[in-house]
Amino acid sequence: MKIYQNRKNGQSMLEYIMVLAMTLGILVTLGFFIAVFKDYGGRILEIVSSDYP
């Protein structure tokens, strides 16, 4: 019985670590997209507001 309980605890810990890693990956990806689109938006605003005749 004791060995079976340790396996369940190890599986739970592994699942929490995997969910944490996936969450961090998603947050890093979203941060990257925010930075790229913010930069792109800045370029568009610069082009629109230019005084080119």
For the chain, domain boundaries = 1-53
* DSSP letters spanning 1-53: -HHHHHHHHHHHHHHHHHHHHHHHHHHHHHHHHHHHHHHHHHHHHHHHT----
pLDDT band at 45 (very low <50, low <70, confident <90, very high): confident
**Residue 5: per-residue pLDDT:** 62
What type of residue sits at position 26? I
1-38 confidence digits (pLDDT tens): 565 666 677 888 999 999 999 999 999 999 999 999 99
Nearest CA among 24, 28, 25 for reference residue 36: 28
pTM for this prediction: 0.65
Distance CA 43, CA 35 (A): 13
Residue bearing the bigger pLDDT, 41 or 4: 41
Distance CA 17, CA 24 (A): 11
pLDDT band at 46 (very low <50, low <70, confident <90, very high): confident
